[in-house]
Copies of this chain bind each other. A is one copy, B any other.
Amino acid sequence: MSDETPLLDELEKGPWPSYVKEIKRAAKRSPASKDLLRIQEQSYKDRVTHWKHGGIVGVTGYGAGVIGRYCDAPEKFPEVTAFHTMRINQPAGWFYTTKALRKVCDIWEKYGSGMTNFHGATGDIILLGTTTENLQPCFDELTEAGFDLGGSGSALRTPAACVGQARCEWANIDTMALIHDLTMTYQDEIHRPRWPYKFKIKASGCPNDCVAAIARADFTIIGTWRDALRIDQAAVKQYVNDGMDIVSLVVNNCPTEALAWNEKSSTLVLKADDCVRCMHCINMMPKALRPGLQKGATILIGGKAPILKGANLSWVLVPFMEITPPYTEMKELLAKIWDWWDEHGKTRERLAELIERIGLKEFLRAVDIKPVPQMINKPRANPYVFF
């Protein structure tokens, strides 16, 4: 069968780096990648996928971390007959030494297609495509090198953190330390699926939410502060002198009218009680404004994609939680949530969907948290109340 890939070749053109080039590079040494290229060209012709559901494949002792894949035309594409991916848990914040990365590359050159995703949408390193036989030895060498598998299936998925205090002045919590700790604490939950469905945890250091935790995590941790944000009036003046139209760019964009510009004293006036910590003014004037000093996190729950009952954004469960090792309060909360979900959840029912079905009231009772207005945007409009 021909090795020509006229359609894919079109995707080598243009300024953006080309994944087709990448597959071709890998194909030089990996027959699997060669067939990957060919089967992709086939899909470009047919305009359908040529992959089938994977059976249960994996490594001893784990129920997660490998996505099984088989192609639907092994006779045409023998080298990708089986083409499983391994999800490798990234170090929190996605920092690497080149030494560690090269090691992963060497192992994958030996056991896999040489193709990867840096990174998967959840955050893992995705080692894309190997055979069933190679899974175990590849895993063994990876653990030797200090890496382990991430989550898949009805398990806790690999938690993720924004860069946080490692390189961001706005991090109200140490997201990387927290996520590393949780990941280590919940190795069993990550590797051995036992729940109604997947569960995701993500942590951002401030409401900018640079890991999109509120949209993608059943359990969303977002750094915040209780006191007033800090203002360096001199630096504010500097921005204004440098020509920033502070009123239209900053003051008028405050969602709660918490800011005012005092022309006379050319100072920025904050009504701290009205600030909802949206970050906008801080984002606009990083040299002049900073989060407050009483730092902690808001815990939100329920974020997920549309399957099955529609997408959810996480909503506020705990307005403020102090975030200090060993994170006991958070872990106790997670335990209560998982118990309740495990007990009442149907198969493929995410936490948010279970709460929608059974009611937030029941949930709050189960995790014994008392209702506060911060949990809602607005009270009920209907008169259909249970007493």
Contact = CB atoms under 8 A, between A and B. Distances in A.
A119 B381 CA distance: 27
A367 B3 CA distance: 57
A382 interface: yes
Nearest to A310: B382
Contacts of A381: 310-311
Main secondary structure of the interface of A (DSSP, over half): loop
Contacts of A387: none
A384 interface: yes
Nearest to A307: B383
What is the count of identical protomers in the complex? 2
A373 interface: no
A310 B384 CA distance: 9
Nearest to A305: B383
A6 interface: no
Contacts of A306: 382-384
A381 B310 CA distance: 9
Interface string A347-387: 00000000000000000000000000000000001111000
Contacts of A382: 306, 310-311
A313 B315 CA distance: 26
A130 to B, nearest CB: 32
Contacts of A310: 381-382, 384
Contacts of A383: 306
Interface in A273-313: 306, 310-311
The 6 closest A-B pairs by CB, nearest first: A310-B382, A306-B383, A306-B382, A311-B381, A311-B382, A306-B384
Given A306-B384, A311-B381, 6 more contacts: A306-B382, A306-B383, A310-B381, A310-B382, A310-B384, A311-B382
8 contacts: A306-B382, A306-B383, A306-B384, A310-B381, A310-B382, A310-B384, A311-B381, A311-B382
